[in-house]
Structure 1
Amino acid sequence: MPDQTPVALWRAFVPRWSFAPLSGEGAARFGGRWNPVGAPTIYAARELSTAWAEYNQGFVQHPALIVRLELSDATLADLTDPEALAEYGADASIHDCEWRQIVDAGAKPLTYALRERLLDQGIDGVVYPSFMSKGGTCVALWRWNNSDGPRLEIIDPEGRLPKSAASWI
């Protein structure tokens, strides 16, 4: 059952894509921990500090655009809960999955296999512990803003985000 209470999320991303903050195309281009190449996915965090840490991955502090999102009517698998992990046939070791090395070796990471099973069960995304911000939590969202799925809105009360890529040309 989807959670009816809106959830506040934070997303940090490359400013060049400020006109399309809900596209998920960056993740689709390069793949991610919870999505293979070609599968649009929104990666966000429940805490602002976690969004910043995840964006920079602990390395060079790159310029970023940080936005607040509001997610509603989503069914998320909370993989921070050991009981939920067990229910979905996984354990805490999935959070340490070296997904990039596995993909580069031509294999399928456990996170992708779990994603497929969850999608088949009608799950829209996962909540998982941040790798870069201990104690922080992240969300990977696979479905949003379709007629029959969860709603994801960007909070931009003054309309400051650009509506097209024209500002970057």
Structure 2
Amino acid sequence: MWKRCVPASMPDAGSAPLVLWRAYVPRWAHAPLSGEGAARFGGRWNPVGAPAIYAALELSTAWAEYNQGFVQHPALIAQLRLEGARLADLNNSETLAEFDIEETIHRCEWRADLDAGRLPATHALRGRLMGLGFDGVVYPSFMSPGGTCVALWRWNGAGLPKIEVIDPEGRLPKGPASWL
């Protein structure tokens, strides 16, 4: 179940599992839900050291975000099912207004801010939203106009949202040294 964050006066629109697409480095085929790659390098919605899962509602968006408009790198693409997440929907102008968030957050130059020793606006907002009990955000794709992305900060622990890889035939490897 996805609990969409909309202004209190509006009904909660999310009750069904959210199906997502994730493109990630094949080396991590055995650990598609670790979030460790994001923790190692940081990202738009997570600082270095903080795991995160980045995914998209559309396969094409997942691919575009993974490659960041550069060389087409090999990727593993997985479909995910997310349930019970409290996500702040930053595509919704009413949500932005309720939390006093400028629409410019979507164009935050987070890498430039980090390079200059500044806290990116997206990282500051992440901290604020986590403090309010949110598990992640829904936001517009930067690399695929019209696409929708999800950044998840908490998952698969006691009382946390559940996310799983849809792998009905068990094709993903069980460990880093094996494709068995």
With structure 2 as the length reference, what TM-score do the two structures score? 0.91
Q: 1:25 aligns with which of 36, 61, 82?
A: 36
Equivalent position of 1:5 in the other structure: 16
In 2, the alpha carbon distance for the partners of 1:114 and 1:89 equals 11
Contact 1:82–1:91, Cα closer than 8 Å, also in 2: no
Q: Does 1:41 find its partner at 2:56?
A: no
In 2, the alpha carbon distance for the partners of 1:167 and 1:92 equals 45
Please state how far the C-alpha of 1:104 moved relative to its aligned partner.
1.1
SS at match of 1:67: strand
Following superposition of structure 1 onto structure 2, how do residues 62-73 of structure 1 map, counting pairs within 5 Å?
A: 62-73=73-84
Which structure has greater helix proportion? 1
Equivalent position of 2:70 in the other structure: 59
In 1, the alpha carbon distance for the partners of 2:36 and 2:81 equals 19
Please state how far the C-alpha of 1:58 moved relative to its aligned partner.
1.1
Please state how far the C-alpha of 1:88 moved relative to its aligned partner.
1.6
Size of the alignment, in residue pairs?
A: 168
In 2, the alpha carbon distance for the partners of 1:5 and 1:143 equals 19
SS at match of 2:81: strand
**% identity of equivalent residues:** 70
In 2, the alpha carbon distance for the partners of 1:87 and 1:161 equals 41
Equivalent position of 1:81 in the other structure: 92
Q: Deviations over 1:68-98 (max 9, x none)?
A: 0000001000000111012122111000000
With structure 1 as the length reference, what TM-score do the two structures score? 0.97
Q: 1:109 aligns with which of 115, 120, 139?
A: 120
In 2, the alpha carbon distance for the partners of 1:4 and 1:149 equals 16
- Displacement over 6 Å in runs of 4+: none
Q: Deviations over 1:114-158 (max 9, x none)?
A: 101100110000000000100000000000001111000000000
